[in-house]
Every structure is written in C-alpha cells, then in structure tokens.
C-alpha cells in the first residue's frame, strides 16, 4: 500500500517538477529517444534555439525545467530560449566537467527546500503558542469568543497566556489573540498594508448595511477643494489613506473625499489625527447641547411622573435615544425624535442589529462565498429559505433599516433640488447634504451611485449611536458607584460661567476629561478588532511569548487571522501598573507613568486602544467625545446618581451593553437602572 501511494504521488510530482531529465539521471537510458523528441520539437519551432546557441558560447547549459546539464539549448524543453542559463562558459571552445553544474543545481534545490522548511518552521511557532483547550474541532473557540453572557470572562482569561495566545476558529483554523502594544503597532501602523479587514467582515457589513466605509478595504483619500473652500477649510494635496497628514505640518484641516471600491463615497474633514468630526465642529457644534437639554427635560418629566424625590431611571434607554438623535441630526440632518418619545420601528430594529449579527457569527466564514453567488435577488431568495429564527430576525432588521435610509436619502435629495431651483445654498450642513453637493460637482467617473449613498447613511447611524450610548451609560454607572468622584466632578462643573458650555470650555475641565478617559480605558465599547495578514510578516513583541519556543519576534504567515484585544491591552498591568483593573480617574490628573510612554500604545486617542489606531481608527471619535462630555456634564450638574436595586450585567454583542438582571428568575433585559434625584 505504501509503495502504491509513493508511485501515485511522488513520481507524478517528480515528473511535473523535473521533467524527463529526472528519469534519465535516476534510471539511465532513454537519452537517444529524448534527444530525438527535442530535435523534432526544435524543427517545429524554427531556428530560434540554434540562434540562442550561437549567441552564447558555452559548453554546459542548465535547463530550468529539468535541472539537467545539456551541451546545447536544443535539448532543453524551455518555453523561451532566454530562460536557458549558461553555467560553464567556454570562451576557448574547450570542454569542461559538470562540477559547477551540480553545485549550482544543488544550491537551487536547497534554496527551494529552505524556503519550504522556513514556512514549516513559522507554522511550528504558531502551533507552539499557548492557549485554552477547544471544546469542538468544528467550532473551535468561536462560541466562547462571542457568547453574550461569558465572552468578557473568556477574553479576560486569555491574558494568562502572555502577549499572544493561540485560538482556533472553525474547522481547526489557527488565529492569534494579541494584546502586546508593539505587535499592535506593527499591525495597525507600520505594516497596516499587510493586515486588512477580513473578507468575512467586509461581506457581512456590505450585505447588512450596503456599500459603505466599514465594508471597504484599502480606501483612498481624494481631495475636494471646492467643497472645502465653501466651508472655509484649508485645501490639501491629494494623498492616500496610508499617508499621514502630519507629514505636512502646515495643513491643519483638510477636506477630503473618501473613495470606496475606487469611487468617491463621502466627505469628511480631518485634523492631524484624521478625524471626521471637524465637519461637525464647524457646522453643527450646537447639536449635542440641544440634544442634552432635551435629555434633561425628558428625565425630569419621568421623575415627576413617578412622584418621588429619587426615582429609578433607565439611563441606558435615555442615553440610547440621545445618541440616536445626535447622530441623526449631525450626520444626516434628520431628527428621529427619539427623545420626544417617538419609538419608531427603525429605532426598535437597529438596537437589535449587532446582537443579531453576532448570534450568527459561526456562519460568518461562508458569507464571502454566498455574497458572490448570483445577483442580489437570488442571494435573498436563498437566505429567506434558511430555517433559522435568527436569520429571519436579521432580514427583518435589514429591511426596516434599508427603508429608513432610502426615505432619508430621498428627502435630502429633494431638499437640495429645491434649494438649487431657488438659487440658494441649502441650510443643512450635515454629512449627507455635503455628500450630495460634492457628488453633483464631481466628474462623471467619480460620481457614486444611490446604492452607495444609502449604504453610507446606514453606516453613519450604525457606527454613530451604539457605542456612544454604551459609553455614556457606563460613565454614569461608574459615577454612581463612586460618589466621591461624582461630588468632585459636580464641584468642578459648577464653576462654569454658563449653563451651555462650548467645546473649549468643556476641554478646560480636567476631572471630566479624566473620568471619560478612565471609563473608556477600562470599558472600551468594542473588545476586539480582527485583521488578516496578506503577506508573511514578523511582529515584534514587548515581552516574549510563553510557548515552547519563547520569542520576541513572532513570524506570522500570510493568511493568518489576527485578533487584537483592545480590552486586554487597555488593562495590561505591565502598562498601567498594579491597579490596572481598578477605575481610577485620578491617574489622568498626573503625568503618565514611564511604562505607558514606553509601551508606545498605537491608539489614536490618549494611549488607549478604545478607538483603535492607524488608518482604520474610529474617524468619529472626536464627535463621540464631545457628545459624551456635553451629556455627562449636563446630567451631573442637574442630577444626583446612586446605584439601583437590581444588579447590572454587561454583555458582549459586538459592543458592550448593560442588562438588568432579575434576581428571582435570572432573566435579563437591556437597560441600566440608577436612582436619580434632582440636585
């Protein structure tokens, strides 16, 4: 049986690799027959072989197809005469032995063998990394990574395995779980072109949201100087997304157009951090303040309705409504009226979008293949017939979301057309209006389709409300559990000279800034970020791995899935000290320890990874910070917070969300109930 296996596998491989010359050297004989075949081939191809032989005076040639030594190029079955290499020149026309031929052929074969051995050695490094035991080969660690109830506990336990842990995906695929700051910097900054968003991630978001920023890879920044001039922003030369704007210190603000899949898709202004939010600061800076005032009025009405001095208030519900209205007005120029009590089908649907997506995470690997099968209606017909409640729920959410996005797009397009007919500029300066105006002025080849525009609307809402609402709720919970910090923060805010502080005034409150930074450090909205290596790369590590072969330079072969643990990196005691797991905002009121500086954390914001880093960092993080500061400062000045009676559990669902737990039944529902009283 083994002999048969050898014949069926090795010999055909050897013949394909080395040709007839291999068998001549192995078994002898057949030389005359082989020469006759090559001479017949030469006669069919013409005289170019003989011309090559006359052009190169040589006594021995190395044929790349057979690795055999031949005395004339005619005997070598090469596709082109220029591929034949002379290994023994014969300037005098004499003969020479084949020693050099053998040496060079051996070097060639050894080079190939060394390359294959190196790849096997690199895989050995990955296989020797420590990691938890998987339960099933078919699912690997996927259920543990994304389970809503136990995911955070599992993620925290992976820090025991050092800077890099080995995990398994579906069907035994290896993935790296990294929390080392040096390796993260390599992935997100230095080698960012070698690590892309996974194809499954892109396919999922394109299928759910439509073509948008989050579902793009390798986008390019292109200038829109005319639109930038109309907003009073400084124009900038064309640059790609991988180029840092800090290369030109004279450019403080740029207005660019992002290209998705080779097309310009939407506009944003960015500073030296590449932030989208300068558009919002320049045009709609008053929106968070207006929304915060409506938020206070709504909470006061709820307390008044309960008829008590201290009432139980679901701050997560109110924070969610606040974030939805903020991103709707600032990004879309549309008021969802969530703070007015309007509970539309859309607001109900999108709060379940991420949990529905992550409940189907085990099916994510097949999405790239499914996304390429036939037209959209055919794919839809296939998905509708999947016997799964989770799939049907996701389809329902996508339908509601798509209808709302189309409605907003048509309204903005009609408003822009009316303003053009009247010969006046539109009053709205939201992102969608800017997109439409720039799209009309763009060249025909640069224009984007309505489908892409609708996809950007879905992307703005998806990325702009979910994470901010969770952060606001988490800050309020931390203040409720730490009354001393809450009292000091209220004292700091009472020194403000106005009831409606602007952005510059809010930046002057150090404790407010410290409270938000510390909450984002300890409780980042997203726990992980996934990338896939597109080429062989070596990642440097701050501390050695804990596997069988400890190393500070980890070889990562192409095609390896890398999971960057933002949560674990933010909580690393080697960076933040022994109190890394404690909520301590006072750490930000002093100069950062040397360990934090030396760690070179690649985060775009304040040495933490909560907003990621590099060209794919959160482009709206500044608007999120402004919104959080405006809302928190307004609420703390108006209300006293204390913990509620029912326990709260934060669950994983793409982003972290609070759930109120019923002690009797153990059931949980989204929310964060705190006791609020008017100050």
Of the pLDDT bands very low, low, confident and very high (cuts 50, 70, 90), residue 101 is low
Closest CA relative to residue 678, chosen from 638, 643, 636: 638
Of the pLDDT bands very low, low, confident and very high (cuts 50, 70, 90), residue 14 is very low
Helix (H) or strand (E) holding 320: helix 315-327
pLDDT in tens, 502-519: 777 888 899 999 999 999
Contact predicate 279/267, CB 8 Å: yes
pLDDT of residue 138: 85
Domain boundaries, the chain: 2-119
Query: Is 642 in a helix, a strand, or coil?
Result: strand
Residues 6+ apart with CB under 8 A from 543: 162, 163, 180, 552, 574
pLDDT at 100 over 90: no
pLDDT of residue 460: 84
Most confident by average pLDDT, 278-287, 433-442, 651-660: 651-660
d(CA 82, CA 114): 27
Average pLDDT over residues 562-568: 97
pLDDT of residue 8: 36
More confident residue, 32 or 298: 298
Contact predicate 150/157, CB 8 Å: no
What b/e string do you get for 589-604 counting C-beta neighbours within 10 Å, with b at 16 or more?
A: eeeeeeebeebebbbb
More confident residue, 434 or 248: 434
pLDDT of residue 673: 96
Lowest mean pLDDT: which of 182-191, 503-512, 517-526? Answer: 503-512
More confident residue, 239 or 362: 362
d(CA 421, CA 403): 27
Lowest mean pLDDT: which of 51-55, 471-475, 568-572, 675-679? Answer: 51-55
pLDDT in tens, 58-90: 555 555 555 555 556 555 555 455 555 554 454
pLDDT in tens, 404-444: 999 999 998 898 888 877 776 666 667 888 888 888 888 88
Lookup: tokens for 641: 């917070």
Average pLDDT, the chain: 77
Average pLDDT over residues 184-209: 88
Average pLDDT over residues 549-561: 91
pLDDT of residue 215: 63
More confident residue, 338 or 28: 338
- Is 0.85 surpassed by the pTM of this model? no
pLDDT of residue 478: 98
| Percent over 70 (pLDDT), the chain | 70
d(CA 71, CA 76): 9
Average pLDDT over residues 571-577: 96
pLDDT of residue 254: 30
d(CA 132, CA 160): 10
Average pLDDT over residues 351-369: 79
Q: What are the residues facing 648 on neighbouring strands?
A: 660
pLDDT of residue 595: 94
Of the pLDDT bands very low, low, confident and very high (cuts 50, 70, 90), residue 613 is very high
pLDDT at 542 over 90: yes
| Percent over 90 (pLDDT), the chain | 39
pLDDT of residue 610: 96
pLDDT of residue 521: 98
Closest CA relative to residue 554, chosen from 131, 164, 130: 164
pLDDT at 281 over 50: no
pLDDT of residue 48: 41
pLDDT of residue 352: 86
Lookup: tokens for 8: 């069926």
CA torsion, points 467, 472, 473, 476, in degrees to nearest 10? 160
pLDDT of residue 171: 84
pLDDT at 328 over 80: yes
Of the pLDDT bands very low, low, confident and very high (cuts 50, 70, 90), residue 120 is low
d(CA 334, CA 319): 18
pLDDT in tens, 449-472: 888 888 888 888 888 788 899 999
Of the pLDDT bands very low, low, confident and very high (cuts 50, 70, 90), residue 217 is low
pLDDT at 160 over 90: yes
pLDDT of residue 72: 61
- Give the torsion sign (CA, 429, 431, 436, 441): positive
pLDDT at 387 over 90: no
Most confident by average pLDDT, 218-232, 254-268, 570-584: 570-584
d(CA 630, CA 319): 12
At residue 536, φ and ψ (nearest 5 deg) are -65, 130
pLDDT of residue 112: 61
pLDDT at 589 over 50: yes
């Amino acid at each position: 049986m083994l002999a048969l296996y050898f014949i069926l596998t090795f010999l055909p491989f050897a013949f394909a690799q080395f040709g007839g010359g291999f068998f001549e050297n192995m078994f002898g004989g057949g030389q005359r027959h082989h020469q006759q075949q090559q001479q017949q081939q030469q006669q069919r191809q013409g005289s170019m072989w003989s011309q090559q032989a006359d052009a190169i005076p040589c006594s021995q040639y190395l044929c790349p197809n057979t690795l055999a030594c031949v005395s004339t190029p005619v005997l070598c079955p090469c596709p082109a005469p220029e591929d034949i290499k002379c290994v023994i020149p014969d300037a005098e026309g004499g003969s020479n032995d084949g020693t050099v031929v053998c040496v060079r052929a051996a070097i060639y074969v050894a080079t190939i063998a060394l390359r294959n051995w190196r790849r096997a050695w690199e895989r050995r490094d990955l296989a020797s990394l420590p990691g938890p035991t998987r339960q099933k080969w078919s699912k690997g660690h996927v259920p543990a990574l994304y389970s809503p109830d136990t995911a955070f506990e599992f993620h925290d336990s992976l820090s025991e395995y050092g800077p890099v842990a080995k995990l398994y995906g579906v069907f035994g695929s290896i993935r790296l779980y990294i929390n080392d700051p040096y390796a993260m910097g390599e992935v997100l900054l230095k080698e960012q072109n070698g690590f892309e968003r996974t194809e499954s991630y892109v396919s999922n978001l394109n299928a759910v949201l439509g073509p948008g920023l989050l579902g793009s890879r390798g986008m390019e920044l292109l200038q829109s100087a005319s639109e930038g001039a109309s907003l009073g922003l400084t124009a900038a030369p064309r640059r790609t997304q991988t180029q840092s704007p800090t290369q030109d210190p004279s450019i403080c603000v740029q207005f660019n157009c992002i290209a998705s899949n080779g097309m310009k898709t939407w506009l944003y202004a960015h500073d030296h951090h590449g932030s989208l939010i300068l558009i919002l600061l320049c045009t709609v800076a008053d929106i968070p303040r207006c929304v915060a005032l409506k938020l206070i009025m709504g909470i006061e009405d709820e307390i008044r309705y309960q008829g008590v001095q201290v009432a139980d208030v679901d701050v997560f519900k109110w924070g969610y409504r606040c974030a939805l209205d903020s991103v709707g007005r600032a990004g879309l120029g549309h008021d969802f009226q969530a703070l007015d009590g309007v509970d539309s089908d859309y607001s109900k649907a999108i709060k379940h979008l991420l949990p529905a997506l992550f409940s189907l995470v085990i099916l994510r690997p097949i999405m790239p293949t499914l996304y390429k099968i036939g037209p959209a209606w055919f794919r839809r017909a296939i998905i509708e017939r999947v016997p799964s409640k989770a799939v049907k729920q996701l389809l329902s959410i996508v339908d509601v979301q798509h209808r709302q996005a189309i409605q907003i797009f048509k309204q903005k397009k009609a408003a822009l057309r009316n303003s053009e007919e009247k010969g006046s500029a539109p009053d709205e300066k939201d992102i969608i209006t800017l997109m439409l105006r720039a799209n009309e002025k763009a060249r025909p080849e640069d224009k984007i389709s309505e489908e892409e525009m609708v996809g950007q609307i879905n992307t703005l809402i998806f990325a702009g409300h979910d994470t901010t609402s969770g952060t606001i709720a988490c800050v309020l919970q931390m203040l409720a559990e730490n009354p001393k910090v809450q009292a000091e923060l209220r004292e700091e805010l009472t020194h403000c000279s106005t009831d409606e502080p602007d952005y510059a005034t809010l930046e002057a409150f150090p404790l407010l800034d410290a409270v938000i930074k510390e909450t984002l450090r300890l409780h980042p909205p997203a726990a992980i970020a996934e990338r896939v290596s597109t080429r062989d790369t070596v990642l440097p590590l701050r501390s050695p791995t804990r596997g069988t072969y400890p190393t500070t330079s980890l070889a990562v072969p192409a095609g390896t899935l890398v999971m960057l643990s933002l949560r674990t990196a933010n909580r690393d005691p080697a960076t933040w000290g022994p109190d890394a797991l404690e909520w301590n905002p006072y750490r930000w009121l002093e100069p950062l320890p040397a360990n934090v500086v030396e760690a070179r954390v690649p985060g775009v914001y304040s040495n933490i990874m909560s907003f990621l880093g590099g060209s794919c960092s959160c482009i709206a993080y500044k608007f999120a910070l402004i919104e959080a500061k405006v809302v928190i400062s307004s609420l703390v000045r108006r209300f006293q917070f204390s913990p509620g009676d029912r326990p709260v559990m934060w669950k994983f669902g793409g982003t972290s969300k609070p759930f109120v737990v019923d002690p009797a039944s153990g059931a949980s529902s989204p929310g964060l109930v705190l006791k609020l009283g008017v100050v």
